[in-house]
Amino acid sequence: MAAEWSVLVLTCQRGGCVSAFQRELEARRLRGGLGPRPPPLLLAVEDPWAHLGSGGATLNALLVAAEHLSARAGCTVVTSDVLKEAHILILHTGRDFSFDDCGRAFTCLPVEEPGAAAEALVCNLDSLLGTMTHQLCVGSPPGVWVCSTDMLLTVPSAPGIDWDGFQGVRVIAVPGSQAYARNHGVYLTNEQGLVHNIIYRGTEAQIQQCAGPDGTVPLVCGVVFFSSDAAEQLLATHVIPPLDACTYMGLDSGAPPIQLSLFFDIVLCMAGGVTEQDFVKGGGDTSVRNARSVLWAALHAFPLSMACIANASYDYMTTSASDHIRSLTLLPSSASHLCFCKTAHSHVDQPCLLEDGSSVTNCLLEGAVRLAASSVIQHCHLQGPLEIGPGCLLSGLSVGSSPALQGFPLRDVVLQGHHMRLRDLPCRVFTLTGRLDDWQSPAERATYLNMPWAEFFHWTGIREGDLWDAETPQGSRCLLNARLFPVLHAHEALGLEDVLWLLAPVAGERLARWRAAWRMSWQELLPCLDKAAELSARQALFFLQGQHKVRRVLLGRQDSSLLPLARSAVHEGYHEAVLGTLDEVASTAGDAGIAARALSCIAEVLGCMARGEGGLRSGPAANREWASAFGRLESGDIAGGVRELAAERQKWMSRPALLVRAARHYEGAEQILVRQAVMSSCQFVAVGQAELPPLGHWVQVACPARLDLSGGWSDTPPITYEHGGAVVDVAVLVDGCWPIGARVRRISEPELRLVSLGGTPQSEVVAELVCRELEHLQDYCQPHAPGALLKAAFICTQVVQFPSQKPLQAQLMESFRGGFEVHTWSKLPHGSGLGTSSILAGAVMASLYRAAGKAASTESLIHAVLHLEQRLTTGGGWQDQVGGLVPGIKIGRSKAQLPLRVEVEEIQVPDGFTQTLNDHLLLVYTGKTRLARNLLQDVVRNWYARLPSAVQNADALVSNAEECAQALRQGNLPLIGKCLDCYWEQKKCMAPGCEPLAVGRMMDALRPYVYGQCLAGAGGGGFLYVLTRAPRQKEVLHQILAKTEGLGNFSIHSVEVDTGGFSVKVVGCDTEDSACPGEHTAVKAFALTHS
C-alpha cells in the first residue's frame, strides 16, 4: 500500500532556487519516484521572507496548496472546503547546509535502487518521500503531513500507527537515548498518549521525566500531521495579522516579516501542559506574541497526540563534518538499513583502492585513486594517481582539479567546489575546511584546518586583518565570516590550488596571489550559491559515469540492467549521449554477442523516447530504408552496419510512431547478430557419405514429440550462450504413435516438390509447391512463406547452393541426376507446444541428408536444426530437437560461451520407472493456441534488458532442471511434480500472459488430482501435461474437466516415453507405412547413429 497524495509541496528558501526544485519534482514524477499514482499537484514553493521559520513556511505552503486545489475545483477564491478530502504532504528544505550546496534535502546518499523503474541519484528527499508515502502515512485520514528534510529518518515497514477515531493533530516521535536528547527536542506525554509539553535541550531531570520503561525518550523528529479540521483552522489564520505576514499574500500586501517555528509556535499551543499565558509570553517580540495569541485561539482546542515508532531511527544532519562523514560511511550510527553501499552510481577504474568504510557517490574516478576508510567523495570527476587519507569529504571537483590534488596528501579535510553566480557572472569557487572545525565558535578558541587559528596564522603568514575587518569584534570573529576563499583575481584565473596551498604553504608567491584575490567568507558565499547550476552539473556527471557504466556492463558481459538508465536518459534529455555510447560499443566491441545486446539497448532507448505511444514494440522490421545497414551486418561488417543504422536512425526520431518502428528495426538488426552467434554451432555438424538410395525410393523418418519437464527458455538464444542452459526433455509417443514425420525421394525431374500432408503419411495432400528456379527459394527466411522450412532445409543441408550463379536445375542434374520430392506430416495441431516445428525440421534434414547420399549423427542434427531455425529467422532454441531426436529421458546443457554447443546426458531412471511414468503422464489439449514467437520477442527483449526478474528466473530455470533430473534418477513422482509446478511458475515469470483464463480454470480443476502440471513449450495454449497422483487416470480426468465450465473444446491423450528414438528408413517406391512403432514395411533400413 501507499499513501495517495493530492498535493506534494516542497518549500525552499527565498533566493532563486524554486524553479530548479520544481524541475526536480517533475523529474521524480517522470521516472516513477513518486509512487504508482503520483500527486496531480507538485509545487515548489518559495518562502516569502528570508527567515520565515518552519511555522511560517508551513502556513504559506498550506495556503498555496489550498489555492491550487481551489482553482482545480473551479473556485474563484481560496476555500477551506478543498481540504476536507485532501491528502497533502509538505516537505521543508530548511536552512543552508555546510556540506551540500543544495541543502539537506538534496544531499545524496550512497544508495542504489536496482528495482527502480528509472536509475537516479538517491537524495535524502527521496528517502523521506519513500518513508512518508509507503510507511508512515499509509492509512492516515485526510489532512496535512508536514515533514522536515534535515534528518535521516527510517521507520519499519509497518509502523503500527492507530488512526481509529483520530482527531486533532498528531506528532511522530522516534525512541532515542537520553544523552542524545540533551541537544534535541523530546515530547512529554500523559498516560493517554497526549502531548503535555515539548522539552528542547532540557535538563537531565526534565529529560528523565519523558523517559519510558526502557529508558528511551520520544525524540522530536520533525514530522507532524494535521487532521483536515485542524488544517482548516490553521489555514484560516493566514488572513489575521500578524500571521498574514507568513504568506506570499502578506508580502504582496506590504505586511512586515515575522518568523515562526512549526513546533514551538504552532504545535506547542495544543500541548495539554501549557497555559495560554505562558505560551503567549514565550514569544520573542510583540508580533510573535500576537501571532501566538491568534494560534492559541484557533488551535488549542484540538487534541495533540503522539505516535512513537518503535525500532525507528532518527539522525539529525548537523553542521559537524565528522557527523556527516560518519552518516555516509556505514558506521553503526548511520541509517544502515537504507542499504548504503561503498560505491553508488559511480565508475571507479580501480575499486580495490577503495577501503572498506569509505563512500563514493556519483563520481568518475579514473586511474589510481586511493581512498581511505572514513572518507567520502561525492560528485567528483578525478584522475589518479591520487591518495585521499581518512576523515575527508570531497565534493564538486571536476577533472581539471586532479593535477592540483596530486601534490597534496589529504587528511581530515573538507574540500568542495561550488557553482556561484555573482550578479550575472557564473564562476567556480573552492572552499577548504578541517573535519574538526566549527563554523561559529569564536576564533580565539576555535580551529581552522584542525589547528588553532594562531598556529594557522604562523603556519601560512596570513594575518587576522586579511580575514576580518578591524570593526569586527574579537568575539564575533569565526570561520563562518572569515574571508578565506578566493573568488576572482584581476589578472589570473583561480583554481583549486588557490586554497590547497593552505595545507602546505610556501612563503611568498602563493600568499601574495591569495592576498591579491577578491575573497569571500562562507557566510558571504551562501547567498550566491547557484543551486540550479549545481543540480545540472550533478546530472551531467551522473550521465557521464552512466556512459562508462554502459561500456562496463556490455563489454564485461555483466547481468546488470541498463533499462533504468535508458529511461532516465530519456526523461532528462541525455538520450543522444547514451545512444552515441551504445553505437560506439556495438561498432568497436569486435564481438557479435556484445554488439547484439548494444543494439537491443538502442531499441530500448528508442522505445522509451516514444513514451508509450506509437504502437506495439513488436512488429515487422524489413523496411527497405534499413536494408543496406542490415546487409552490412549480414556480411559480417558490424562496424559499418552500426554506422549505417545510426545514420538511418536520425531520420526516424521525429515522432512516436517512427521511433517505435526504428526500435523494431534495431531488434531486427540485433537478431541478425544473434543468428550469426548461434550459427557458430555449425562447426559441430559433421556430415559423412552414405550409399545413395535408388531413384524413386523414399527415405522416411518418423519422430516422437517431446515434453519439456523443466528448464525451457534457458535454451533460447541469446540466453543459452550468455547465461548457459539446461533442459530436461522426454521423447514421447502420443496415443501410441510417432506424431511427426517426413519422407524424401529423388525424382528424375530437376525440381523440388514440397508437399504437406495431413496427420499421417497416408493422408491427403494439404499443400504442394514446386520450385524450379533459385528465385523460388529466396523467401526461405520468411517463416510464414509457403514451404519456408523445407526450402531452408535444402539450403542448410547444402543439397542446394543458395545464393549461386548456377541455376537450380543445373545444380540438381549435376549432383543428383534429378530433383527431390519431400512430404511432411504432423498429427499435432499448430502451436501444440510439443516441439513440432523443430522436430519436423530434424526429420526433414535427416531424410534429406540420407536421400542425398549423406549421413549425420544425432548430435549433428541437433546443431543443424539450430542453424536452420536461425536461417529461417524463427530464432528457436535447442530443446525441441533434443527432446524429439534423442530417445528417452535426458537433460541437455549448453555452456555460457560461443561457439554454442549442446551436450546431452541420458537420465538413468530406476528399473520399471519408465512404465510408472507412462501410467501417470497424460496430455490434455486445451483448445488454445499461441505462437511461441509472439512470446519469444518479449523474452529476448527482457533478457537483453537484463531485468532482474529475467536474470533470477534464468538461474532458477537451470537449477530446477538439475533438481528435476535428480528427482527422475530417484524415481520420485511427488518431487518431479513439484518441479513441474515450479517450472510453470518460472514460465509465467519469463513470459507473462502465457496462461489463458481457460487454462487456469483447467489447472485449478485438476490440481487435487495431480502431483504437478505444466503447459508444454512456451505456453499460451497447446497441450497441458499432468503427472497424476494415481495411475491410468484418463477417464477420471475427462469426467472432471467435462464438469468444469468455460473450458471449450479439450481432449485427453495418452503418452508413452519413447525409448527407441526416431527412425530413418529407406523404403520402396510406394509405401503404406504407418506412423506407429512396429508396423513398418521397410525394404531396407539404415540406422542413424545416436551420439
What Cα–Cα distance (Å) separates residue 576 from each residue in 441, 571, 883, 905?
50, 12, 46, 48
Give Cα separations from 934 to 198, 874, 940, 991 (angstroms). Answer: 64, 11, 11, 10
Q: Tell me the average pLDDT across 925-936.
A: 70
The pLDDT of residue 1070 is: 61
pLDDT of 336 = 40
Q: At 556, list the grid cell.
A: 564485461
Does position 927 have pLDDT exceeding 90, yes or no?
no
Residue 934: the pLDDT is 57
Instruction: Tell me whether strands 376-378 and 393-395 are parallel, antiparallel or unpaired.
Output: parallel
Q: Are 448 and 470 within 8 A, CB to CB?
A: no
| Alpha carbon distance 661, 467 (integer Å) | 64
Residues forming a β-bridge with 765? 757
Lowest mean pLDDT among 146-155, 515-524, 624-633, 1063-1072: 1063-1072
Using left for φ > 0, alpha for ψ between -120 and 50, and beta otherwise, residue 74 falls in left
Q: What is the pLDDT of residues 986-1030, one digit of tens each?
A: 999 998 888 888 899 999 999 999 999 999 998 888 899 999 999
Quote the pLDDT of residue 41.
94
Share of the chain above pLDDT 70, in %: 97
Cβ atoms of residues 883 and 845 within 8 Å: no
pLDDT tens digits along 689-714: 999 999 999 999 999 999 999 999 99
Residue linked to cell 591569495: 514
Handedness of CA 156, 162, 163, 169 (dihedral sign): negative
SS3 string of 300-349?
CCCCEEEEECCCCEEEECCCCHHHHHHHCCCCCCCCHHHCECCEECCEEC
CA distance 296 to 719: 68
Rounded Cα distance between 669 and 667, Å, is 5
Q: What residues form DSSP beta bridges with 1041?
A: none
Q: Which residues of 899-920 are buried (b: 16+ CB within 10 A; e: fewer)?
A: ebbbebeebebeeebbeebbeb
Let me know: does 954 contact 719? Beta carbons within 8 Å: yes
Please determine, for residue 1090, whether its predicted confidence score (pLDDT) is greater than 70. Answer: no
Give the Å distances, CA to CA, from 719 to 709, 831, 1025.
Answer: 18, 22, 25
Using CA atoms, how far apart are residues 345 and 545, in angstroms rounded to an integer? 7
Question: Does the pLDDT at position 97 exceed 80?
Answer: yes
pLDDT band for position 784 (cuts 50, 70, 90): confident
Flag whether pLDDT at 332 surpasses 50.
no
For residue 208, give every residue at least 6 positions away whose Cβ sits within 8 Å of its Cβ, in sequence order, or none: 178
Lowest mean pLDDT among 47-51, 864-868, 982-986: 47-51
Cell numbers at 122, concatenated = 538517491
The pLDDT of residue 333: 39
What would the mean pLDDT of 975-979 be, rounded to a whole number?
98
Q: Which residues contact 473 (CB under 8 A, 6 or more apart)?
A: none
- Looking at the predicted structure, is the pLDDT value of residue 174 above 60? yes
For residue 507, pLDDT beyond 90: no
Element of type H or E holding 977: helix 973-990
Q: What is the mean pLDDT of residues 105-133?
A: 93
Largest CA distance in the chain: 119
User: Rounded mean pLDDT of 599-609?
Assistant: 97
pLDDT at 1073 over 50: no
Alpha-carbon distance of 189 to 195, in angstroms, equals 4
CA distance 86 to 91: 16
